[in-house]
Amino acid sequence: MATETVFDTSKLRGRIVEKFGTIDAFSSNTSLTRASVSDYLNGKKTLNQKDMNEWMELLGIEESDIFDYFFAKKVDKREQIAE
């Protein structure tokens, strides 16, 4: 059975709040709607490269940090306890 990779967007959310105060304020500065930004942050949609580049520029994220913000895997708490 294949499992879908779930990404941890907490660091990205934190950066958005740090730079813009709210998700609403951030989304009004992007080419996406508030609903689309929310869908990405909640794992319902994936971000295309054009939008990811826009977010990186708005949030001051370096290319070397891309995986920390956009592709960090969510760790199941049960897996953490088992380690």
Residue 74 pLDDT grade (very low, low, confident, very high; cuts 50, 70, 90): confident
Range of the domain at 26: 10-75
Rounded Cα–Cα distance for residues 72 and 8 (Å): 5
pTM: 0.82
| Chain segment 22-62, per-residue pLDDT in tens | 999 999 999 999 999 999 999 899 999 999 999 999 999 99
Per-residue pLDDT at 14: 97
- Is residue 56 situated within a structural domain? yes
Query: How much is the average pLDDT of 67-77?
Result: 85
Rounded Cα–Cα distance for residues 65 and 40 (Å): 18
- Is residue 80 situated within a structural domain? no
Per-residue pLDDT at 55: 98
- Is residue 81 situated within a structural domain? no
CA atoms within 13 A on the CB side of 77: 0
- Residue 48 sits in a domain whose CATH number is 1.10.260
pLDDT at 75 over 80: no
- Is residue 2 situated within a structural domain? no
Percent of the chain residues past pLDDT 70, beyond the cut: 86
- Is residue 49 situated within a structural domain? yes
